[in-house]
Structure 1
Amino acid sequence: MTQTTQAVVIGGGQAGLAAGYQLRRLGVDFVILDAQTQAGGAWRHAWDSLHLFSPAAYSSLPGRLMPIQTGEAYPAARHVVDYLTDYERRYNLPVHRPVRVEGVHRNGRLLRVEADAGTWRAEAVVSATGTWWRPFVPAVPGRSAFGGRQLHTVEYRSPRDFAGQRAIVVGGGNSGAQIAADLAYDAEPTWVTQRPPRFLADDIDGRALFDAATARRRALDEGRTDTGGVASLGDIVAVQPVRDARDAGALKASPMFVRLDRGGARWADGTRADADVIIWCTGFRPALSHLAPLGLRGQHGHIAVEGTRSVDEPRLHLLGYGDWTGPASATLIGVGRPARDAARTVADLVL
């Protein structure tokens, strides 16, 4: 089955839906291809206690405010899933699922999107697959020798799964801090970070982070001094569970170990910690394997972009992968502006 349309959006999470909303407003004929069986994107796979960093009003996609979640200042992941499901339905976005895209190819004046459910030919493609589906685990010495269980953030669900176990949580970002705090009362966690953890001030939430990312991008675009953006403020948002564990003395970080062995971790000074499980909260990489046939990756693996548009394949836009595809574009509130800009460029091309 081969279909032709003006644009194909790959990915039906928050970035794909934001792109779809903007394309619909501009009258572009498009489809959204999503590999998941249900709406909600990566939020559907988050751990049970995960909450947003911002209130609902500051966590919305274009066109529709996120409703307040009763009893919660910061909405839970399940509330985000409900919001995205409703958003998709409200705007009648043409999402096809489950459809797994296998490759994007040049096909004359069109791009050909090959998927397990057929082929689409389009004048433009918006890649919005995010990073959740490509977890990163560092090559730590002895990792393969460890005799216990190892999992990444993407596999973590609840502290009940680790009750009474000795867990080493690796990672000094938000996920590492939140999961270490989550385990503090049910398991025996050791929190390990590459450098001493940097907590943002307790009154800073996602609103301030979005403003900082936007100000940095504006400064760079105008040739002014780099403000440092979010990184200048710290690494960890002090959401309430993290704050509670930190203030109770249950969230103390150890420096990174030098190696693993069968029973646990060893440090350079000879100390060790036995462990039943290691949870790698070590981040993600962009999920871009479907773009490999286009041959766009540079020396360091990134695809060069101007805004969201690929420099070497201007029919392709990348949306929602981080600041390199728009300030705070991997967040709910931050993806709206680059989605709007990408849709306008697509509309100029195809209409």
Structure 2
Amino acid sequence: MTSPVDVLVIGGGQSGLAAGYHLRRLGVEHVVLDGQAGAGGAWQHAWDSLRLFSPAAYSSLPGRFMPAQEREVSPDAAHVVSYLTDYEKRYELPVRRGVWVSAVRRDGDFLRVETDSGDRRARAVISATGTWTRPFLPAVPGRREFLGRQLHTVQYRSPAEFAGQRVIVVGGGNSGAQIAADLAPVAELTWVTRRPPRYLADDIDGRALFDAATARRRALDAGRTDTGGVTSLGDIVAVPPVRAARDAGLLAAKPMFSRLCATGAQWADGTRAEADAVIWCTGFRPALGHFASLRLRGSRGHIATVGTRAVDEPRLHLLGYGDWTGPASATLIGVGRPARDAAREIADLLAP
């Protein structure tokens, strides 16, 4: 077992890097453990056409603006990976790659972090593992009967592999809309959503979403009426490719089917859609399995927090999993503030 450190950050994506930045500024000894081979977090695995919701300057981590991408208003995933790689080097963040964390346990005055390269101990832990490694697939009748290809958002890369095929895309959020727009020109598309698609106004981007999430958090903290946050505005940001496909009439959504069968989907009224592939754009769950032994998770799978701090384990902070760990904390623009707050609270906890 290596010598104890003050803080271990689990996850070296955007949230882990933001945490490292603020811990470094406060002079708090820390190490960032990341299971990936390279920098960039989940952005390394995004589909080819994915674009940010906002211009680069409004998609930045604390301390350094993301540079604009040449000839692109909204940068692509590769540009984000380049930015995160540079960010990590610029601030000399102590990231240890290829280290997978399996468990976190209480160990007296420390938390013991078990990894595939040995155990480590820390006086505090920040978990920033995100959701990408826990794709959610709904329990739809007949899912195991379907003979075609089934994949989740995490496995989709480009429309080229589906050219000329019959494809069902399931999901009425941003991923579902963007992948449906990607496929519409080259495949026989059936887009399925649980409720009619709700597009945000065309001029709304990530800045407005961050402001809406922040206003909701402030209202709840002050005991005022819930503003609804981002969900009150809609479910789909109309990025240019989605807007173009929508305006061309290529994104006509059908209601959710009742079951899958061997060759496609079937609705309650007997309507059928044949398919070669089904792409499930049905979201994710927080990757929190490494905390099982601490018994902190509630009925919804979340760990109860005050800000980013776990209620039942004050040495643990959670960062970047969604609004319950800070307004818009799962976004580049939104993670800076909760990362700063977590670092400050940990510094106070560790102070002699």
TM bucket by the smaller chain? over 0.9
Deviations 1:288-337 (A, max 9, x none): 01111111112332210000000000000000000000000000010000
Question: Matched residue of 1:122: which SS?
Answer: strand
1:2 is displaced (CA, Å) by 2.5
1:91 is displaced (CA, Å) by 0.3
Question: Matched residue of 2:144: which SS?
Answer: helix
Question: So what's the TM-score if we normalise by structure 2?
Answer: 0.99
Give the residue type in structure 2 aligned to 1:267: W
| CA distance in structure 2 between the partners assigned to 1:188 and 1:262 by the alignment | 18
RMSD: 0.6
Match of 1:126 in 2: 126
- Preserved CA contact (<8 Å) 1:3 1:119: no
Percent identical pairs in the alignment equals 76
Match of 1:166 in 2: 166
Match of 2:116 in 1: 116
Deviations 1:192-215 (A, max 9, x none): 000000000101111100000000
Question: Matched residue of 2:50: which SS?
Answer: coil
| CA distance in structure 2 between the partners assigned to 1:82 and 1:131 by the alignment | 21
Q: Show structure 1 runs of 4+ deviating over 3 A.
A: none
| CA distance in structure 2 between the partners assigned to 1:244 and 1:38 by the alignment | 34
After alignment, is 274-283 or 117-126 more displaced?
117-126
| CA distance in structure 2 between the partners assigned to 1:314 and 1:334 by the alignment | 23
1:186 is displaced (CA, Å) by 1.1
| CA distance in structure 2 between the partners assigned to 1:164 and 1:340 by the alignment | 49
Question: Matched residue of 1:180: which SS?
Answer: helix
| CA distance in structure 2 between the partners assigned to 1:98 and 1:107 by the alignment | 24
Deviations 1:227-262 (A, max 9, x none): 111000000000000000001111110000000000
Match of 2:339 in 1: 339
| CA distance in structure 2 between the partners assigned to 1:30 and 1:119 by the alignment | 15
| CA distance in structure 2 between the partners assigned to 1:299 and 1:201 by the alignment | 34
Are residues 1:256 and 2:225 paired? no
Give the residue type in structure 2 aligned to 1:160: A
Match of 1:77 in 2: 77
Give the residue type in structure 2 aligned to 1:295: R
1:181 is displaced (CA, Å) by 0.2
Match of 1:14 in 2: 14
Match of 1:290 in 2: 290
Give the residue type in structure 2 aligned to 1:302: H
Which runs of 5 or more residues in structure 2 are unaligned?
none
| CA distance in structure 2 between the partners assigned to 1:235 and 1:215 by the alignment | 18
1:3 is displaced (CA, Å) by 2.8
Deviations 1:97-128 (A, max 9, x none): 10000100000011000100111111000000
- Counterparts of 1:186-205 in structure 2, within 5 Å, are 186-205=186-205
| CA distance in structure 1 between the partners assigned to 2:237 and 2:12 by the alignment | 27
Count of residue pairs the alignment pairs up: 351
Question: So what's the TM-score if we normalise by structure 1?
Answer: 0.99
- Counterparts of 1:196-215 in structure 2, within 5 Å, are 196-215=196-215
| CA distance in structure 2 between the partners assigned to 1:258 and 1:3 by the alignment | 55
- Counterparts of 1:98-117 in structure 2, within 5 Å, are 98-117=98-117
Match of 1:220 in 2: 220
| CA distance in structure 2 between the partners assigned to 1:4 and 1:328 by the alignment | 32
Give the residue type in structure 1 aligned to 2:42: A
